[in-house]
Structure 1
Amino acid sequence: MFENLKLNGRSMHSLQRKTERIIAIFDGKPHLASCVRILDFLGFNLKRPEKEGIYAQIAKGVIQRLSKVDTINFNDVHWERLSSLLRAALSERDVFDTFADLASLLKPRDVPESAHTIPRSIKLDEFLTNEIHTFTPWFQEELCPFEIRDLRFLRMHIYGHYESTAFMVHHAGPNLRKLELRYRSGLGASDLVHLGHMPNLNSFVLDICDSGVGTDILIPWIRSFFEPLLRLDGHTHPLRHFTLVIAVASHESDTAQWELEWDQYAVLDQLFANSVFASLEMVNIVVKRSNLQKLIIPTELLGWKLPFLKGSWKLKVDFQ
């Protein structure tokens, strides 16, 4: 319990009880506070007068006692909506007000204290975000200390702002090994990103489960993503794994609708049968639906629509 301390701000009643319990434990056994190494904040995203009291308790009774914390995780936390007292307590634990402050901490140790952080001197290996549009303006600034061209793994939850998505793929693409695009609101123009931007990609996850798009939009997007590689004669792309996450909305008993739906996915067979994708090992289609038992029989149609992938043992269908 004490190595990883989790605080959930979504329920004020539960947060109040847990905070009081932690304070009571630390009051009785102060040494236990030094056992905490990881501090997780979840759901601190609303600013209300009634929260000031509990935030003050957390700051004074919990945060200020944690002398050995080396990791702080924020999930759905709006920094500006925390009380000034709580922000101050967290800042003393090396949480910074701005991206620039964080960058100054990460600069090479041999840079003099009086010097500014060297542009592009902090090379990122992995980057995961659900607010890409807030980072791309910073990444484009001339004095930005972060270099994204060396990224190996990029995961983005995308809520619009498709140009920001394209910027990241274009700039990080040459060295990317793993890409995960999780769309939450449409897919954007189909020509914004394609596999040609990522000549070294090994793994690609496309999650449209919550995007609200159907096959009429998805299939042209998939064609546009993969087809540029087909024009490169004699070239083999290193892509080994492709995962497609979809949500199925057709009525379970509508067999004709199932047939029509799965017919559209034949494009995957046509694309991946090309020699440019000779390195491909697995296409994993993840089907999300609440009533899985009724979904199994219609989904078997998918294997029949993709004879190349099924016959070469490169097709896997999962239910979630």
Structure 2
Amino acid sequence: MTERRVPNELIDCVLENLYSDRATLLNCALVGRAWVRASQRGIFRKIVLELPESTAYDEVWAMRVATYQETTAHLGCLFAAKPYLASSVQSLELWRFGESSGQPEVWYTAAASVLQRLSNVNNLSFCEIRWNALPPFLRSALTELFTKSLIRVSFLGPFRIETFAELASLLSRAAHLKILDAAVFSWEWDVRDIPTYSDSESNLEGTNHPLPRSIPLEQLKLHLDIDPFMTWFQQDGCPFQVDTLQLLSVNLVFLLSPIFTDLLRVAGRNLRVLELTDMKVSGPFASLSLRSKFDSLF
């Protein structure tokens, strides 16, 4: 009897619909040779590096530390031996890096060994990060990710960085950025600490500063500290083009603010979705989305 094989294109199509089900993908990888690579692309599509919470030493905390160290070391070795697996990683989440001064450097070293092998990350998320508390080699590895293929950057929880100029310098490296989700910021910036063109250029440590308005944003989500961003966006040397925005999300508290009005005007006629959110409210009333053209605002 002639063996009838499922076309590889059909296998890929089936497995792409299972990317959210890692357990099933692990089983699919055992079906046959034709299923392995396609399953692995889903298995490694997203990785999360999460440091243990800073709690009093107990058995649970020790177990989480051991799990993190074992998992990260395994990933580093796996990506070193099979680079094509590292190239499958498209989404990366980092949790609690730099949160506590008691975090040993070996945790950062293991994370850096993984990050340095990633080349196709297009979605990078931070949560509970103290940027300036990270060792230079880890900041360097993360900064390098911004220069590659990032399409979306999300600050999903407290991301503490000393100056807005540092944040602007970091974001300016993401030449392919489409979505900036700065949903939660927990510090106060001096509005005067807004980089000029020359400031940003010097902060890029020898790399060329992106051309002004050369990075067209499609979605922008800002809920706190709108003023520094707005000041930066209006500068001639800012690399981000915001009149290309299709979605804008801000906190309700800014609804009647002149800054909000200015932001709407800068966003331009391409804006199609306006989300007004309340960080203190959860559930169906946490976000109000207005889907319409905003021609009357201009």
Q: TM-score, normalised by structure 1?
A: 0.46
Task: With the length of structure 2 as denominator, give the TM-score of the two structures.
Answer: 0.49
Larger CA Rg, structure 1 vs 2: 1
